[in-house]
Structure 1
Amino acid sequence: MPSEARKRRNGQLQACESCRKAKVRCDHGDPICGRCVRRNLSCTYHPAPLTRPRGAKVIPSPPSSIPTATRSPTISFVSPVTPASETPTRTKSLFHKPPSAYGATRFSAIFSENQASFEPALLDVTEDEGSSTVPKVIKTGDRSAALMELAIDTLLNFPTLRVTEILTAGSPYVIDSWVSPTMIQNCLSQIWTQYGALLGGRRSRNSVAQMAIDIMRNTKSSIRTDNEDSDWQNWFGGPRLRWEMIGVVFTWAGFVIKHSQEWDPLFKLEEMKGMNRKSAAEVMNQCASNCLDLCDTDDAEVNDILVVLMKNRWKLQSIIVSDECDRLRIGTGMVVGAFITAGLHRLPHFTKITANSQYRTCLAASLYYLDKCESLFTGRPPLFSRDFCHCPLPLDLSEDDIFNGPDNLARAVAKLDANGWNTDGKIHPTTWLRALCLQLPIREGIVYFSLGVNVQFTKVDIDNLTTQLNDIVDSYPAHLQFATRSQNLSKTRDPCSSSAREFYIKSRLQLDVLQCHFLLQRLSVSRGFVSGQKLLDIAVQMMNVVLSLWLNRDELIHFSFAFDWVVVCYGIPCAGVLCVELLKTAKAHSASERPPLSFSKSDVIQSLTIFIAYLNWIRPSDGNAELCWRLKKVVKRIVDSVLDGTAESAAMPENVPPPPPSPPPPKEANEETTEVDFLSDLDPQLLGLDDLDWLNTIDWTQGDWLDMNQQSSL
């Protein structure tokens, strides 16, 4: 339209819609005014701006009754206007961020703290937050076209209705506070209700393009995280569906697929295209990564759901590849950065318990705990510090308690005991999370003593942490206490039973408790405060719990996805201690000396033999499969050397020639193609079965166990 025609009835030139809504002066530039160019806004001139009634909606989307083939994947579109009462808006601020999320050192702190005084001056320099209701046009261009193509390709891989129904049945076994089954089910229900015709059997690029346009529009708006109504979930689902939530659904699907068995009928469906559990999970992971790219716009905000997507994608990546992969460390740093940017590291003191506050509390406590676990696992400094964080404990509530309305939530909160535990004797995901978070002071102490620079500690310091850990475990409710006697699940053959689920959670919790004791003892032994007897005893207990999971693998089939992680995190450390002490005892026996520590050689050998079978059972599609197989070769050779009597030869007099080395054991069926022989890279003199002194280089009971130079020869 030529500029001469853009005149109001009073003869004045017409302002563009962005300037008119913001009530600022427009320079009437053609085709885009100068203000919109400077602020990168969509600039449109309405043909009759004052004839449309206030609050009326502009051109709606085509009805779902229109055949899919007639829908056009056009990129230029007009956004529907939502009533002001329903529009998620940002708080008007000169620098776009609320002052409560940042400290007094922030560059804009003076303006943020005195925002009320600047309100009259803000009108001409801040964008009217009502501009989100202004019709916007997405212009065709290289980036817009590329994003649209990426969006279409991503939605074409969205699981079908039949697949999502199958995956939903396995959702309860994803025990993770970051994956709420209720939120996922509600989101899927809304997706199939609103976009079922577009994602159905006749799915095509044209059909999903309209859905992509809606999601792109919604992603440009803000998510309200401060509202306390029961409609909180609808701010990022349903008609406000965003790429962040689509990505969370993709990661959820990846989790459930990776948790499935290879023989699951799911992989025989036509839409799975012959993929197995690992390749299908990789597709879900890539689609989640695409959703992250689609969220990366110039005006994007870091919100809670984006943090959930980033963390879930990082976790999905970790269960697809090995947990020792250094690339995962970079992803961890990005997740922590987004977590802090969203303000989850320092939650306010909630005056009212709501679904939103409970969910945010679970996210904050979970990532703070995972940061300490990651630090201990990799031997690297943590990314969070309690001096700058406030992550309160979540209440021990179930999914039904949290998301079934405020009245039901209030009744559930009233039934909790004085310490925040449920009184029904049930174990929820939050029950496990609360128990783990109570151990945080112990893990932080271990991290400080072990990774701190020039940190000095005494035996009293270690004993105090040990006493504190025992008090924490004693404070757990009765239904969380781990029975020290051998537990047997053979009477319960149903893998879906609650007893199998409770046995798994209590075993994992016990492993975390024993891991803290194990690391505390390693600190004491490394400084020479105590002998290694108690460390060995704890290692034997840890190995028994690790093996109990595998021995009950038929009943725990729905949790077998985590077995490779159990081996890597808990099994490898205690197996290392057992192997070293077994060799020391064998050498002492050959030299007619008293063994350094007291233990049953027969029991240890039997445990290590079962552990070898456990390692061999790890499936090729498990992320830590190669690491487990490499460990199996080491443990197997150590046990063979002890049983064959070749370990004693290291203690023979120098004038007695050692016996010839035994031939290597024949390879098993799966070793030829799947195992990686990392021993071939070592010095052959260190690998002779008649001389196993090289194991002293990995003896955790000697010297500084954090000195990586001690392992340089390995």
Structure 2
Amino acid sequence: MASRQAACEACRKAKLACDHEQPVCSRCRSSKGICIYRTAPFKRRRVEKPSDVSSPDPSSPTFTPRRNPYPNPGYLGSSSHAAIFKHITTDGEPSTGVHTGVSESPTPQWIGDNYLLLQGADVLRHLLKAYPLSAMKELVLFWLSKGANLALAEPFVAQCAESVSKLFASNDENWHLVYARRLLHNSAQPLQFHQSMDLSEFSTQFMEQNCRWETIGIFFAAVSRATIDIPFFPSLYTSDEDQYNLRRLATKLCDFALEISLSLDCLNDLQLIIQYENFIVHSYVDGDESYHSWRKLGDVISSTFAMGYHENLEAKPGIPRFLMELRKSAFARIYSADKNIAIFLGRPPRMNKRFCHFQIPSCQTNSQPDNDIILTNNHLNQNVWHPDSKPGYRADSRWSALCAFLKEEVWELLQDKQDKACVEKASKIQLNAEEQWRALPAHFRLESSLKQCARTPFGRDFLAHVRLQHLHVLFLLRLLLLNTLTEPDIPIIETAGQMLSIVVEVILLRDQIINSGTGLVWKVAYYGLPAAGIILLALLKQHTTTATSISRTKLLRDLSVFVAEVQMGTIVRLGDPNYALLSKATQTIQRFLDSFNSDNVPAAGSEPQGHHEEGNDDWAALLSQDLWDFEAGFWQSLADHPALLAVDPPLPGV
């Protein structure tokens, strides 16, 4: 007598015959549905007594974590033993080094961490009970329709949203554990590729039936990011508190999805993508100064090295073109993030270009479909751009990495500032920066006011960020050449004025722009604060601006708008992660603006009193001499300027 077989969950719910094929029955395969078989389909669920909390539910999956005694080593470089032994085979013949077309991560010998898995499943159950999955999918799709996306996971976000929305068809108690086990099984499979594979074929390995924890992570990273850009979505949240709760839950589930994936010790491209996007999510949720975000970036960099993506990717055979470009985009974004965060926090960068093969992605063009790539990289001159290049995340990755390369050179000069050749080297960097700017397609260069640009919201933000990146390189160069922060010269004042002007325009046009790679708060903190700091130092020193292209009146107007927008809460509000940094800086700017119209500051060109001059000298000695420090320490020191001490600080909210 044939043993009784249980139907899959999809057929059982629909009351249709199931042919019991595993892992996917014929009906689910043809309908592209999610095929899940229960662990104990014919075992009745025992009702537990309140005191009996230790007995497991028989329908829940059980796990026996068994750690791999031979961990995946990842990429092994030229100084390792592998560099010698890879040339030796068992028969004594040299190895041919033929690429198998399979991700080099070994198949794991254990199936996951029980604790992490149960936590992830519990968060998943809580989230799906609190918020409808279909509404979260609609939120992501609405966010995508506005032109926004995840910068690195861009090709997969819409597919991930569709796949995840079909995944959880049952809300029965403890079914979150069954689905979690299915996701774990899929996540343990290596991602395969061959040279003729396209993006669609590659994606089938982690979509629909093959959904992985990485797929879940990408989706909920998109949910978290969408809650930042979309302030009101009635089917999910109508208040700030509900919006915040959804963001935190989505971020937590993204964290667990990533940790479960990493615990399998099976590095792959999808894991690196979700690691990067998870770091970006935390920079929004925890703040750009958060140690948590800093550690997340370090993890992404570690994975980049472990996968060997700091090496020449084009030298590795058997990689399809789309995957090559995806890996180059990953390297470019992670490399530029390392430099920008290091400068912002005043810490050493962790990806040294001396130990990396610098590589940037190619460009898409306006005349080509999104999946077609125009190869424009020139190994001798990476400044080459296709004249019809399309504004997008790939172009932003390319430009950001080019600017980050120059920023690293400036950083290295800072360590050797006493070198006699420092000025000459700085001049060469400036020439390279100007050459990079001229090499850009004409429609990438912001040559007028931002509000005069007839572009899409994404395109307008893209133009602003491209220009800010270029100005920031020049700003850092001129900052490097200053003898002291308290004596800014005309070139750096002009550069700071241009940076501040663009940041103020971005603030005022915030409802008409879409994040093209960096958010509004980052632009304000990373570009706006250093620019405002230099302008304040210049005005406090009573520098005349007749020799500059920016009038004193415009500088004061931009500072006033900058302060007003922050104090009104249109950029950050009390409780937001970057509130402390921005509020402290704007309080100092406000005190200066108040003192400017008072009798406490001498008129321009007048000689200061002796005691005032002595006070200035004392203050200059106390001001932080770290030329890269524009965080809390700089603003606190600036607030102690003698010209501002006599002015009462403004009342809160004024």
Q: How does the TM-score come out when normalised to structure 2?
A: 0.74
2:261 counterpart of 1:295: yes
Corresponding position of 1:431: 395
> What's the CA shift string for 1:679-704, capped at 9, x where partnerless?
xxxxxxx9xxx96777635868xx66
Does the CA-based 8 Å contact 1:254-1:284 persist in structure 2?
yes
Among 108, 131, 148, which residue is 1:174 paired with? Answer: 148
The answer as to 2:449 corresponding to 1:475 is: no
Describe the shift of the 1:137–1:473 C-alpha distance in structure 2 as closer, same or farther (beyond 3 A): closer
Q: Could you tell me which residue of structure 1 aligns to residue 411 of structure 2?
A: 447
Q: Which residue of 1 aligns with 2:78?
A: 104
How many pairs align? 562
Q: Which of 611, 625, 635 matches 2:562?
A: 611
2-structure distance, mates of 1:95, 1:606: 59
Equivalent pair of 2:283/2:293 in contact (CA under 8 Å): yes
Q: CA deviation at 1:513?
A: 0.7
Partner of 1:280: 246
Secondary structure of the equivalent of 1:268? coil
The equivalent of 1:216 in structure 2 is 184
How many Å separate the matches in 1 of 2:110 and 2:468?
56
Residues 486-508 of structure 1 deviation map (CA, whole Å, 9 limit, x = unaligned): 2425x97xxxxx53321211111
Please tell me whether the aligned partners of residues 244 and 295 of structure 1 are also in contact (alpha carbons under 8 angstroms): yes
Partner residue, 2:234: 265
The percentage of counterpart residues that share the same residue type is: 18
SS at match of 1:554: helix
Secondary structure of residue in 2 paired with 1:197: coil
Task: Write the mapping of 1:143-542 to structure 2, written as runs, cut at 5 A.
Answer: 144=114, 147-154=117-124, 156-157=126-127, 160-171=133-144, 173-174=147-148, 176-180=150-154, 182-193=155-166, 195-198=167-170, 203-224=171-192, 228-230=196-198, 231-261=201-231, 263-268=232-237, 275-297=241-263, 300-349=265-314, 354-397=321-364, 404=371, 409=372, 421-424=385-388, 426-451=390-415, 457-483=421-447, 485-489=448-452, 498-526=455-483, 532-542=489-499
- Measure how far apart 1:652 and its partner are: 5.7
Q: Find the counterpart in structure 2 of residue 661 from structure 1.
A: none
Q: Contact 2:391–2:459 at 8 Å: present in 1 too?
A: yes
**What residue in structure 2 maps to residue 582 of structure 1?**
539
Which amino acid in structure 1 is aligned with residue 174 of structure 2?
Answer: N
Superposition deviation, residue 547 in structure 1: 1.2
Task: Between 431-440 and 377-386, report the one with greater CA deviation.
Answer: 431-440
Structure 2 residue aligned with 1:631, among 585, 593, 611? Answer: 585
Q: Could you tell me how far apart the structure 2 residues matched to 1:59 and 1:560 are?
A: 40
C-alpha distance in structure 2 between counterparts of 1:449 and 1:421, whole Å: 28
1:343-385: CA deviation from partner (whole Å, max 9, x where unpaired):
2222421677622121111111111122121222222221112
User: 2:13 corresponds to which residue?
Assistant: none
Query: Matches of 2:107 and 2:342 in 1, distance apart?
Result: 46
TM-superposed deviation, 1:242: 1.7
Partner of 2:553: 602
Instruction: Check the 8 A contact 2:139/2:223 in 1, yes or no.
Output: no
Q: Distance in 2 between matches of 1:346 and 1:166?
A: 38
CA 1:105/1:227 → structure 2, altered by over 3 Å: closer, same or farther? same
Query: What do residues 576-613 of structure 1 show as CA deviations (whole Å, max 9, x unaligned)?
Result: 1111111111xx8xxxxx89986743332222111211
In 1, distance between residues paired with 2:526 and 2:214? 31
Assess, with a 3 A threshold, how the Cα gap between structure 1 residues 697 and 282 changes in structure 2: closer, same or farther.
farther
Q: Distance in 2 between matches of 1:330 and 1:60?
A: 40
- The 3 A distance-change label for structure 1 pair 403 and 520 is closer
Task: Return the alpha-carbon distance in structure 2 between the equivalents of residues 179 and 226 of structure 1.
Answer: 20
Amino acid corresponding to residue 609 of structure 1 in structure 2 = S
Q: How big is the shift at 1:525? A: 1.6
Measured at CA, do residues 403 and 173 of structure 1 come closer, stay the same or move farther in structure 2, by a change above 3 Å? Answer: closer
1:111-130, aligned counterparts within 5 Å? 111-115=85-89, 117=91
Once residues 566 and 156 of structure 2 are traced to their aligned partners in structure 1, the CA distance between those partners, rounded to angstroms, is: 36
Change (3 A) 1:221 1:402: farther
The Cα shift of 1:633 comes to 0.9
User: In 2 relative to 1, CA 503–137 (structure 1 residues): closer, same or farther, beyond 3 Å?
Assistant: closer
- Residue equivalent to 1:7: none
Contact 1:540 1:574 in 2 (8 A): yes
Q: What SS does structure 2 have at the residue aligned with 1:278?
A: helix
Q: Is 288-297 or 473-482 further displaced after alignment?
A: 288-297
Query: Of the two structures, which has the highest relative contact order with CA contacts closer than 8 Å and spacing of 6 or more?
Result: 2
Long gaps (5+) in structure 1 = 1-55, 79-93, 120-128, 493-497, 589-593, 659-685
Pairing partner for 1:74 from 54, 60, 75: 60
> Which residue is equivalent to 1:642?
596
Give the 3-state SS of the residue equivalent to 1:393 in structure 2. Answer: coil
- Structure 2 counterpart of 1:305, one-letter code: L
Change (3 A) 1:707 1:433: closer
What SS class does the counterpart of residue 377 from structure 1 fall into? helix
- Call closer, same or farther: CA 1:111–1:552 in 2, change over 3 Å: same
1:221 aligned counterpart, secondary structure: coil
Native 8 Å contact 2:393 2:517 kept in 1: no
Deviations along 1:661-681, one digit per CA (max 9) or x if unpaired, are xxxxxxxxxxxxxxxxxxxxx
Q: Distance in 2 between matches of 1:68 and 1:353?
A: 38
In structure 2, relative to structure 1, the CA distance for the partners of 1:377 and 1:156 (3 Å cut) is: same
The 1:597–1:274 alpha-carbon spacing in structure 2 relative to 1, beyond 3 Å, is: closer
Q: 1:696 aligns with which of 610, 613, 620?
A: 620
- 1:449 Cα offset (Å): 0.9
Match of 1:31 in 2: none
> Once the two structures are superposed, what CA deviation does each residue of 1:143-163 show, in whole Å capped at 9, x if it has no partner?
636633532433552560222
Say if 1:375 and 1:447, in contact at 8 Å, map to a contact too. Answer: no
8 Å contact kept, 1:380–1:451: no
Q: Is the 8 A contact 2:338 2:351 kept in 1?
A: yes
Match of 2:174, SS? helix
Deviation at residue 415 of structure 1 after TM alignment = 14
Asked if the contact 2:496–2:534 (Cα under 8 Å) also holds between the matched residues in 1, the reply is: yes
Q: Distance in 2 between matches of 1:418 and 1:370?
A: 19
| Partners of 2:328 and 2:516 in 1: CA distance | 26
C-alpha displacement at 1:77, in angstroms?
9.1
Structure 2: how far apart are the matches of 1:482 and 1:106?
48
Per-residue CA distance 1:84-139 (angstroms, 9 max, x = gap): xxxxxxxxxx98668xx3223224444433245389xxxxxxxxx9xx999x9979
- Does the CA-based 8 Å contact 2:336-2:401 persist in structure 1? yes
Q: Deviations over 1:543-574 (max 9, x none)?
A: 11111112223323778992221111011111
Asked whether the 8 Å contact 2:383–2:439 carries over to 1, the reply is: no
Q: Distance in 1 between matches of 2:367 and 2:488?
A: 50
SS in 1 for 2:467: helix
The answer to whether the 8 Å contact 1:255/1:316 transfers is yes
Distance 1:533 1:146, change over 3 A: closer
Q: Describe the SS at the equivalent of 1:281.
A: helix
1:320-342 Cα deviation digits (max 9, x unpaired): 12212233222222221111112
Q: Which runs of 5+ in 2 are unaligned?
A: 1-19, 29-33, 42-57, 65-69, 94-102, 638-654
Check the 8 A contact 1:396/1:422 in 2, yes or no: yes
Matched AA of 1:330: R
Q: How far apart, CA to CA, are the structure 2 residues paired with 1:696 and 1:183? A: 53
Distance 1:601 1:310, change over 3 A: same
Partner in structure 1 of residue 627 of structure 2: 705
Letter in 2 for 1:705: L
CA contact (8 A) 1:507 1:545 kept: yes
